[in-house]
Amino acid sequence: MAALLASLRTPRGLIVALILLVFAVLPLLTQAFDQRYLLSIGTRIVIWSIAAISLNMILGYGGLVSFGHAVFFGIGGYAVGILAANGLQSAWLQWPVAIAASILWAALVGALSLRTRGVYFIMITLAFAQLVYYVSAGLEAYGADDGLNISRSRFPGLIDLRDKASFYWLCFVLLLGTLWFCGRFANSRFGFVLRGAKSNDQRMMALGFPVFHYRLAAFTLSGAFGGLAGILLANEGAYISPAMMSWVKSGDLIVIVVLGGMGTLFGPLYGTIAFFVLEESLKPLLDLVHKGWGEYWQIVFGPMLVLIALYARGGIDSLLGRRHG
Amino acid sequence: MVEPLLHTDRLVKRFGGLIATDTVSIDVRPGEIHALIGPNGAGKTTLVSQLTGNLAPDAGTIHFAGSDVTHLPTHARVRLGLARSFQITSVLREFTALENVALAVQAHAGHSFRFLADVRRDETLRAPARQGLEAVGLGARAGTLASVLSHGEQRQLEIAMALAGDPKLLLLDEPMAGMGAEESQRLIGFLRALKGKRAMLLIEHDMDAVFQLADRITVLVYGRAIASGTPDEIRANAEVRQAYLGDETVEVA
C-alpha cells in the first residue's frame, strides 16, 4: 500500500492512476454526456487490452514473436458462439469450456512452434492461426464467412451482459485482474526464468532450467488470457465471425504491444488506448480532408510507428520517464 | 583407486570428414583439478560441448556421478551437479549481478512454476546469491547491471553463477580469457582455494595458470588425447613438447 502511494508521486504512477480512474467511471461519463458510442469503444479498448497484455506475456517478457495471437479471440469467441447456438447459454458452462479450448490449442501450438526459432516461430504460429481461421470460415452451420449473431452468455441472477454498463464493468474488473496477475507474474520465479531465457537462453539452460517447459507454460498461460478476451469480444458484439481472428488482428496486437512498450506492465494498455484513439480520431479527420480517405488512416499511423521504432524503442512506456523498481 | 566423477569412454565426434574428437577417454576424480590443454583447433571446446550436452557424440559414452549421461539434455546434467562457465562471457546482461546469481540459485531450488511471490524479495535466493558474489569478490557490485560490469568482473560473475548450485564438477572454459595479469592471479588464488572441495575440468591457454593449478593435465592435439599425467610428467613428455608446448613454454613452470 505504501509502495502504491509512493508510485502515485511519479508521473508514471499518476498517469496509470488517471487512466484507471477514467476507465472505472467511463459508463457514468458516457451516460452524462450521452455518448453511448464511446462506451462501446471503451469496452473494446478494455477487451483488447486484456488480449494485448496476454500477448505481452510471451512477446514482451519471453521475446517470442507469436504472429497468431488473434486466434484466441476466435477460439474463445467460437466456443461461446457455438455453445450458444446449440442452446447452451450458461456462462458457467461456456466460459470454462472456452478457456479450456484456448489452453489446449495453445499447448498444442506451443509444443510444436517453440521447437523453432525466429522467423520459423513466427511462420508456424501464423500458420496455425490461419488453419483455425479457414476452419471457422468453413463452418456452414455457424455462418461460415459471414459469421453468426449469437445471444450473450447468461450469468443468471448475477449480472445481465445485455446491459452495456454492467458488461463494461465486468470487462474492466477482468482487466484489473489480468493486470494484477501479470504484475505478479513478471517478478515471480516463473517470470524471471522467462525473462532470463529472453536475455540468454543458452545461459539459462546451462544453469539448469528446462527452458522449453517454461516457455510452453507461458505460451499456454498467454493463450488462456487471450481466450478470455475472445469470450468478451463475442459478447460485446453478440456476434462471432472469422474476421475476429484474421492475421491482420494478430498484427494489430503485435503493433499495440510494441507501440505501448514490450515487457512492461502497462505498455499494452497504453498501446491499446493509443491505437483505438488514433483510429477513431484519424478516420473522421482524414474524411474531413477528403471524403473516403478515413479508410486509409493507417497511412498516417504507419509513419508514427516507424518513428516509435526508430526513436522510442521502449514504446509509449519509455516516454513516461524512468521506471522505478 | 577412487571412482572417477566424470569419465568419457572412447568419445568420437565428426564434422563431415573432420574428426574433432578422436576416441577420447578422460576422467576427472572427485576434488581434483584436471586441465585440458592443446593448441587452437585441437577440439577442446567440441569436447566440452559434448560433456555439457550441447553436442551429441557420434560414438562413446559419458558417465557422470555414477550414471550414464551421454543422452541427457543439458539441464538434466546440471541437476546432477555438472556446471559450466563459458569461453565467451555469457551472463544475463539485462539483469543485475545479484539477479544473475540468484537465478543460478533458483535453478537448483526446485521447480520455478511459481507465479505470484515476488522473487526480488526472496531471501532464500538472494542471501546465497549475495554470499556467492562476495566469494568471487563482486560483493560491492551486486546491484550493477551485468552489461555494465567490466570484462574481468563478468568473468567473475560467471564463476559465481557456476558455483551457485553447489556443483560436483565445474567445467571452466578458458576462465582467464581476456583477464589482466592481476585479475588472473586473483582468480587462480580463488580456484586453488576451491581445490579438494570441488572437481574441476579446466580448459585454459594460460600455461602459468594450468601448471599452478592442475593435479593432472591432458593434452589434446587434432582431437586426440596424446598424453595425460601430472604436470611434471607432461612437462617431461617429449611428444607433448614437440607437438604443443615448445621449448620456451617449459621454463614458465
pTM: 0.90
Q: Which residue in A has a C-alpha nearest to residue B81's C-alpha? A: A208
pLDDT at A103: 98
pLDDT of residue B87: 80
C-alpha to C-alpha distance for A264 and A258, rounded to whole angstroms:
10
Interface of A with B (CB under 8 A): 181, 184-185, 187-193, 195-196, 199-200, 202-211, 214, 217
Question: Residue B253: is its pLDDT beyond 90?
Answer: no
Q: Would you state the pLDDT for residue B245?
A: 58
- Does residue B136 register a pLDDT over 70? yes
Q: Grade residue B251 by pLDDT with cuts at 50, 70 and 90.
A: very low
Residue from A180, A189, A212 whose CB has the most chain B CBs within 10 Å, to mutate: A189
Residue A170 Rama label (left phi>0; alpha psi -120 to 50; beta): alpha
Residue among A185, A203, A210 minimizing CB distance to B90:
A203
pLDDT at A324: 47
State which fold the A10-319 domain adopts.
ABC transporter involved in vitamin B12 uptake, BtuC (1.10.3470)
pLDDT(B252) > 60 = no
Q: Name which of B83, B90, B119 is nearest A200 (Cβ-Cβ).
A: B90
Residue-level pLDDT at B250: 44
For residue range B26-51, what is the model confidence (pLDDT) as tens digits?
999 999 999 999 888 888 989 999 99
| Minimum-distance CB partner of B78 among A184, A188, A206 | A206
- Predicted confidence at residue A2, as pLDDT, reads 61
Reported ipTM: 0.89
Contact B115 A195 (CB under 8 A): no
User: pLDDT exceeding 90 applies to what percent of chain B?
Assistant: 62
> Residue ranges of the domains in chain A?
10-319
Q: What is the pLDDT along chain A (325 residues), one digit of tens a residue?
A: 566 667 777 888 889 999 999 999 999 999 999 888 899 999 999 999 999 999 999 999 999 999 999 999 999 999 999 999 999 999 999 999 999 999 999 999 999 999 998 899 999 999 999 999 999 999 999 999 999 999 999 998 889 999 999 999 999 999 999 999 999 999 999 999 999 999 999 999 989 999 999 999 999 999 999 999 999 999 999 999 999 999 999 999 999 999 999 999 999 999 999 999 999 999 889 899 888 888 888 888 888 888 888 888 889 998 887 654 3
Residues of chain B numbered 32-51 and touching chain A (CB < 8 Å): none
Q: Which residues of B touch A210 (CB under 8 A)?
A: 73, 75
Joined grid coordinates for residue A138: 468453413
Pairing of strands B199-203, B169-173: parallel
Q: Is B147 on the interface with A (CB under 8 A)?
A: no
Q: Mark yes or no for CB contact A205/B75 under 8 Å.
A: yes
* CATH level 3 topology of B1-81+167-253: Rossmann fold (3.40.50)
Residues 6+ apart with CB under 8 A from A228: A50, A54, A76, A98, A99, A102, A174, A178
Identity of the residue numbered B46: T
pLDDT score of B186? 85
Structural domain boundaries of chain B? 1-81+167-253, 92-163
Residue B4 scores a pLDDT above 60: yes
